[in-house]
Structure 1
């Protein structure tokens, strides 16, 4: 199985923008989870992490997106970060016998978020990182 970034969708409601992506990853959920929820994992494909308390209600500080709180935490399945000006949600599901599907949502106001092209490039890096992991 090879990873792929499915078509992203974008919606706007007033001054709130919502991006959705479906990313298919060639590794099981347990192998993908650290890339979405640890400083080393996030730093390997997205952005630097100054603080991450891996639990519901924990503090998070990401370079660029800013500071906030973990508002959903279901180990190996869901991590959601409410950050300055928005919310980022990673939802993992099984995809076949050996893969994972990542359902991603980024909700942000005005110009506080990154667009589809930026996230697509990040997810391509995530796929490369995950494919290279044991």
Structure 2
């Protein structure tokens, strides 16, 4: 069963997808997993290098869905261990952490350039957050691009059925994996 698909929201008049996860790990552990460039590839779709300060440069490498050469953007928020935000190809990614009695609450907000990317991006983030959960549980992860391409479609269709805007570009190899 698919649960917690995330939600479609507006942020400052821009479309966005928002996910919230309650994680049974200390905030410091989650902060390391979402900010340490050595840990990010286990769950985030790119290798990341950045200057840990507002306005610092952030570089993305190795994402098969980003054009080469490496993409460069800026850190938008840096408040350890609570907030990390950055630009990403016109989008913004905001990660907010807060302590809970059982561990940590993580909110991932992807502010979008275009509303029609909502279902596609939400599908991707759903998979990424599943990989993050594995990392925090100590389960080996081959990263978010290790999932079978056909697994994309049931989630994407569930996002569309939930009312998320859709119609954005999807990589050819993912399109080819759509069940008939």
Aligned to 1:105: 109
**CA offset at residue 112 of structure 1?**
6.4
Q: Are the equivalent residues in 2 in contact too, given 1:86–1:112 (CA < 8 A)?
A: no
Q: Are the equivalent residues in 2 in contact too, given 1:7–1:22 (CA < 8 A)?
A: no
Query: Does residue 91 in structure 1 map to residue 96 in structure 2?
Result: yes
Residues 45 and 9 from structure 1, CA distance in 2 versus in 1: closer, same or farther, beyond 3 angstroms? Answer: same
> Secondary structure at the residue paired with 1:30?
helix
Structure with greater Cα Rg = 2
Q: How many residue pairs were aligned?
A: 127
Q: Are the equivalent residues in 1 in contact too, given 2:31–2:81 (CA < 8 A)?
A: yes
1:62-73 equivalences under 5 Å are 62-63=60-61, 64=63, 66-73=71-78
- What is the rounded CA distance, in whole Å, between the counterparts of 2:104 and 2:48 in structure 1? 27
Which structure has greater helix proportion? 2
**CA offset at residue 49 of structure 1?**
2.3
Residues 115 and 47 from structure 1, CA distance in 2 versus in 1: closer, same or farther, beyond 3 angstroms? Answer: closer
Which structure has greater strand proportion? 1
- What is the rounded CA distance, in whole Å, between the counterparts of 1:30 and 1:90 in structure 2? 14
Aligned to 2:26: 28
TM-score scaled by length of structure 1: 0.82
Q: Are the equivalent residues in 1 in contact too, given 2:27–2:98 (CA < 8 A)?
A: yes
- What is the rounded CA distance, in whole Å, between the counterparts of 1:85 and 1:108 in structure 2? 7
**CA offset at residue 83 of structure 1?**
2.3
> Secondary structure at the residue paired with 2:137?
helix
- What is the rounded CA distance, in whole Å, between the counterparts of 2:108 and 2:77 in structure 1? 13
Aligned to 2:83: 78
Q: Are the equivalent residues in 1 in contact too, given 2:96–2:106 (CA < 8 A)?
A: yes
**CA offset at residue 16 of structure 1?**
4.1
